[in-house]
Structure formats: C-alpha cells, structure tokens
Amino acid sequence: MVAYLLLFVTALATSLVITPRIVHVSHRLGLLDRPGGRKVHATPVPRIGGVAIALSLALGLGVSVIINAHGPIRPAPDPKSLLPIISGAALVFAIGLWDDIDPVRPLWKLVVESIAACIVIAAGLTIDRVTIFGTTHQLGWLAVPITASWVLVITNAFNLMDGLDGLAAGLTTIAAATCGAVLLARGEGPGAMLVVTLIGALLGFLVYNFHPAKIFMGDSGSLLAGFLLAVTAITGRQKGATALAVGVPLLIFAVPLADTVMTVVRRIVAHNPSSGTHNGSLTRVFTADRGHIHHRLLEMGLSHRGAVLLLYGLMFLSSAVALLTMQLP
C-alpha cells in the first residue's frame, strides 16, 4: 500500500503545482473557451486542463518505474503490463488536445478512439464473457466489437458530462476511486496503480476546476480519463480472457451512461430547424446542445454548485451499490 500512496501523492502534488502554470500559459497563448451559445460560463476560461492531468499522471507512472527498478518498497508496482493501455490513452489524449486547440471533425476523433481501443484489444484485453444475474455467457466472436463499443461509449460518456465547472472531473474521480477499490480487492496491482495515480491527478486538478473554474478539462482531459476508466474497469485476473460482471461497471458509470443514452437518442431523433441540410446521424450525435442532465437541473432552478453536488451524490450512491454488490474471486 505504501507504493500506491506514493503514486497518489506524487500525482496529486504535481497536479496542484502544474495546473496554475497551465492556466497562465493558456491565457498567454489565447487557448480559452469563450462564453456564448450553450455555454454557462460568463468569462473566458482556459480549456487545456487535460495537459495538467496527463503530465501529473505521467510523472506518477514514472515514479512507479523507478520504484519497480530501484525502490526499496516491496512488492513494487510493475507498470510494464500497462504499456498497451498507456499507448491507447496517449492517442486519445492527443486527439483531444488537438480538438481543444483547433476543433476536429467528430469522425476523426472517433477513428482515433477506435484505434486506441484496438491497441488494448490486440494486447489481449477483451470482454470474452459476461455475467448477468449469476449466469455467465461466452461471447465468442462478439468479444471484439463489444469490447470496442464499451471503450468508445465510456470514453465519450465522460466527455459529454463536461458541461459544468467541476462536473466531469468530480464524476471521473468518484468513478476512478470506485474502480480502484474494485481492482485492489481483486488483486489487480497494475490496474490499481494506474487508477490510483489518476485519482491523484484528478483531485489536484479539481481544486482549480470546481466552480468558479479557473480551467476546464477540455476534450484532452475528459477523453483521457474516460478511456483509462473504460479499460481498467474491464481488466480481469484471467490473462487474455476478461470476465465482466455486468452490474458492477454499469453501476459505477450509471450517471454518465444514462446521460449518454438520452443524449444519443435525443440528438438522433431531433430535427435541426436552423440548418437547410440533413445532417448525418454521427454529426447530430456530436452536435452540442443544452439538453444534458446538468443543463436540465439548472433549468429546474438549481444553482451551478447545487446541480454538480446533486450529480456527485447520485454517482456516490450508484458506486456504493456497485461495491456492495460485487463478488470477489
């Protein structure tokens, strides 16, 4: 546990120190999310917070490499098995950062995310069987498309929730803490090491991201965190044959998943009266609007912080149920 604590503290301290520097650089370079349209903030806010999260995560994982090679702490965390996950995460972060700096077409983002998913699948991380109501079902050839779909949906679910100060960062922190508890309970050392480091990076960032936010996660941060959570949530002890007890991850990600399902359905069926052309389904799905759960809570009269804290509470509740109902091997 000492090693995990060291990784957490390293990422937390790095995030607390580096995030204000990213804020300063963003203002100098003009990398700001300006108010207007569906946005709820009233002043320009830096939008590349994912850089702070990624750098904090990288430094934490670097410490794990040093501990593994030379540290006196035993058992030392071994980050080698995380290389496919880290490689995929780097791709997702890169396309997210590109989009934060210069908007990228949704199709290209989806292509890069799919490549990242393929990297972890090629490394042997697939959902080969699922357990529903105590009965396990082998997926066979469906394992690959189901795994890819899971990764893509969860990765983008947290991105869609990034609409209020501190919302996406807080929800990912709660989900990461829950995933970390599950991984530690199941003896998944490398996955737990990655998630614990992510928690430290997110908590340090959240200090500056909570309302009123001094910096936003941006796509680089929300996509990175979402991808890491999507992958670590399905890691299993069986090498190359992950068994997914469906209820636990669905409960952990209940809030962003519910919002994602409602958003996709709403955007596909909605008409676009402001456009004279018929947009494709993919374009409509990725077209921003003010119909998310958090926007509706604001319309109901909740304050900015009130809406965020309510969704935190729902996330805590679903995560607690997930922990209480999970079965240990």
pLDDT of 282 > 80? The answer is no
pLDDT at 79: 65
* pLDDT for residue 302 is more than 80: yes
* Closest C-alpha to 151, from 201, 116, 185: 116
Confidence of residue 238 (pLDDT cuts 50, 70, 90): very low
Sign, Cα dihedral of 197, 202, 205, 207: negative
Q: Assess whether pLDDT exceeds 70 at residue 245.
A: no
Judged against a pLDDT cut of 50, whether residue 247 lies above it is answered with: yes
Say whether pLDDT at 98 is over 70.
Answer: yes
Can you give the pLDDT at residue 248?
A: 76
- Which pLDDT belongs to residue 134? 66
pLDDT of residue 40: 64
Report for 12-21, 25-34, 228-237: range of highest mean pLDDT:
12-21
Tens-place pLDDT, residues 248-281: 788 889 888 988 888 777 777 765 544 444 445 5
Q: Which residue has the higher pLDDT, 180 or 3?
A: 180
Range from 36-40, 76-80, 127-131, 297-301 that averages highest in pLDDT:
297-301
Whole domain around residue 208: which residue ranges? Answer: 2-325
* Region 38-55 average pLDDT: 85
For residue 141, CA distances in Å to 74, 78, 137, 147, 239 come to: 40, 31, 12, 11, 18
Q: What is the pLDDT of residue 287?
A: 62
* Structural domain count of the chain: 1
What is the per-residue pLDDT for 328? 56
Compute the mean pLDDT over every residue in the chain, rounded to the nearest whole number: 84
Question: Which pLDDT band holds residue 150 (cuts at 50, 70, 90)?
Answer: very high
Digit-coded pLDDT (tens) for 154-201? 999 998 888 788 999 999 999 999 999 988 888 888 888 899 999 999
126-135 burial, b for 16+ CB within 10 Å, e for fewer?
bbbbbeeeee
Identity of the highest mean pLDDT range in 36-45, 50-59, 127-136, 153-162: 50-59
**Tokens coding 314:** 């729902």
Spell out the residues 6+ positions from residue 113 whose beta carbon is closer than 8 angstroms to its own.
91, 92, 95, 151, 152, 155, 156, 223, 227
Using only the alpha carbons of the chain, give its radius of gyration.
Answer: 19
pLDDT at 239: 41
> What is the mean pLDDT of the segment spanning 114-132?
88
* CB-based contact 296:263 (threshold 8 Å): no
Return d(Cα 19, Cα 214) in angstroms, integer: 9
When comparing pLDDT for 69 and 222, which is higher? Answer: 222
pLDDT of residue 275: 46
- Residue in the structure block whose two tokens are 């702070």: 52
Strands 32-33 vs 45-46: parallel, antiparallel or unpaired: antiparallel
Number of neighbours of residue 275 by Cβ within 10 angstroms: 10
Q: What pLDDT, on the 0 to 100 scale, is given for residue 87?
A: 94
Q: Hey, what are 223's tokens? A: 């996509």
Helix (H, G, I), strand (E, B) or coil at 215: coil
| Confidence bin at 55 (pLDDT 50/70/90) | very high
